[in-house]
Copies of this chain bind each other. A is one copy, B any other.
């Protein structure tokens, strides 16, 4: 039997695209026949590279009748979305690393692909090289997963790790990270939690088998985390991490969010440092498992793109009908739980006048709002004769806590609630 050569088209030949090219090159049954790039004359860091397969027209890739699989590696919603739809219409399977597109238009995309009996695989879009989506779809398929807790953004984890190690401020570490290329010039997408929110939206959708809508994902970034909070957390046995989390209950009510969190030093996530990513998931029957590894970078991300390509290649030719497990259809939406209606533990850093009654006031306001305190610590008095009081609460309702914070700030002896960070439960 003559072995068919599977032809691949790439859209994008940046960091990840180059890694994909180099990794697929040795496969005899796979050929990369066309690559769309912005500048076809730019020198490429690839040995014996044949420039003639480059084009500056992305549609030349998705309209090429010879191509079986298109890898979309440019990111962003448009033109990526239209390119992918055109490729699907033209009978191609898709491999993408586009977390933003999946989070914003995943539902439409997967319905479209299903209609054309094509698959869209996206292992690389979430947590880089960590095997995650394919295991959830295949070997963990017998599970009802009900909880995810993850570090999905390398830039913010790098910044928080450095702040913790050096006792440095957010601003100083961000500047250093930008100089080293770990943070972008405009870091908003990372530091405000957008990137992690895109990823947890798609990850929770596939794990819970219910569609999560991006607009329902509560999101808070790391820009307000202070060196003092890092130190206080450490003293109390915690690290501060930007955690993307998702839970779903028996009534399919989902609580999906991205925000800073105090995680116990005894937990796995506390030891995930710098640009490493990690995902802890809980399900039945499997219990709790944690997968960690490089969340970004040329080669780790390429590993996942190539894994998806090889999965499609292994199916092509054996059947007209794609492996059911590769699909990603979720017709039902999860019911959203508003953050205000959730129960959390909280870390509060309160600045107050140096007055004997302050601790009593904090206790009273908490009690009136049905908030129990796990610990309250005041360490000395600052030069300006104010006191910094650190509070950790037991589980409390978010809207009650927010009401208590407003009442704190209205009190004559309390100056400001400097920080409010949720604590891992």
Residue of A138, A321, A324 with highest tally of chain B CB at under 10 A: A138
Residue of A123, A290, A315 with highest tally of chain B CB at under 10 A: A290
Q: A139-B311, A307-B140, A311-B138 are known contacts. Are A288 and B299 too (CB-CB below 8 A)?
A: no
Identify which of B268, B283, B299 contacts A287 (C-beta below 8 A).
Answer: B299
- Are A129 and B310 in contact, CB atoms less than 8 angstroms apart? no
Q: How far, in angstroms, from A143 to B305 measured CA to CA in the complex?
A: 11
- Are B294 and A287 in contact, CB atoms less than 8 angstroms apart? yes
Contacting residues, chain B, for A143 (C-beta < 8 A)? 303
Identify which of B131, B289, B306, B314 contacts A285 (C-beta below 8 A).
Answer: B306
Q: A307-B139, A315-B323 are known contacts. Are A292 and B290 too (CB-CB below 8 A)?
A: yes
Contacting residues, chain B, for A319 (C-beta < 8 A)? 318-319, 321
Which residue on chain B has the smallest CB distance to residue A304? Answer: B139
A116 at the interface (CB under 8 A from B): no
- Are B290 and A293 in contact, CB atoms less than 8 angstroms apart? yes
Q: How large is the interface on A (under 10, 10 to 19, 20 to 34, 35 or more residues)?
A: 35 or more
- Are A19 and B297 in contact, CB atoms less than 8 angstroms apart? no
A130 at the interface (CB under 8 A from B): yes
Which residue on chain B has the smallest CB distance to residue A324? Answer: B314
A325 at the interface (CB under 8 A from B): yes
Q: How far is the CB of A321 from chain B (nearest CB, A)?
A: 5
- Are B289 and A291 in contact, CB atoms less than 8 angstroms apart? yes
Interface string of A115-138 (1 = CB under 8 A from B): 000000001000001110111001
- Are A24 and B314 in contact, CB atoms less than 8 angstroms apart? no
A359 at the interface (CB under 8 A from B): no
Contacting residues, chain B, for A314 (C-beta < 8 A)? 323-325
- Are B323 and A299 in contact, CB atoms less than 8 angstroms apart? no
Contacting residues, chain B, for A185 (C-beta < 8 A)? none
Q: A131-B131, A131-B289 are known contacts. Are A142 and B268 too (CB-CB below 8 A)?
A: no
- Are A307 and B138 in contact, CB atoms less than 8 angstroms apart? yes
Q: How far is the CB of A271 from chain B (nearest CB, A)?
A: 6
A286 at the interface (CB under 8 A from B): yes
Q: A319-B318, A325-B314 are known contacts. Are A286 and B308 too (CB-CB below 8 A)?
A: no
- Are B289 and A293 in contact, CB atoms less than 8 angstroms apart? yes
Contacting residues, chain B, for A86 (C-beta < 8 A)? none
- Are A142 and B285 in contact, CB atoms less than 8 angstroms apart? no
Q: A135-B134, A139-B131 are known contacts. Are A300 and B321 too (CB-CB below 8 A)?
A: no
A23 at the interface (CB under 8 A from B): yes
Contacting residues, chain B, for A302 (C-beta < 8 A)? 142, 285
Q: How far, in angstroms, from A303 to B306 measured CA to CA in the complex?
A: 27
A284 at the interface (CB under 8 A from B): yes
Q: How far is the CB of A192 from chain B (nearest CB, A)?
A: 27
Identify which of B131, B141, B292, B318 contacts A140 (C-beta below 8 A).
Answer: B131
Contacting residues, chain B, for A285 (C-beta < 8 A)? 19, 22-23, 129, 298-300, 302-303, 306
Q: Which residues of A315-331 have CB atoms within 8 Å of chain B's CB atoms?
A: 315, 318-319, 321, 323-325
Interface string of A187-212 (1 = CB under 8 A from B): 00000000000000000000000000
- Are A299 and B284 in contact, CB atoms less than 8 angstroms apart? yes
Q: How far, in angstroms, from A284 to B19 measured CA to CA in the complex?
A: 10
Q: How far is the CB of A303 from chain B (nearest CB, A)?
A: 4
Identify which of B135, B293, B309 contacts A131 (C-beta below 8 A).
Answer: B135
Q: How far is the CB of A47 from chain B (nearest CB, A)?
A: 16
Q: List 15 A-B contacts (CB under 8 A).
A: A19-B285, A129-B285, A129-B289, A131-B135, A140-B307, A142-B306, A285-B298, A285-B299, A285-B300, A287-B293, A287-B303, A290-B291, A314-B323, A315-B323, A319-B321
> Ordered nearest first, which 9 A-B pairs have the shortest CB separation?
A289-B293, A142-B306, A285-B299, A139-B307, A286-B303, A131-B135, A319-B319, A134-B139, A129-B286
**CB within 8 Å of B: which residues of A?**
19, 22-24, 123, 129-131, 133-135, 138-143, 268, 271, 283-294, 297-300, 302-304, 306-311, 314-315, 318-319, 321, 323-325
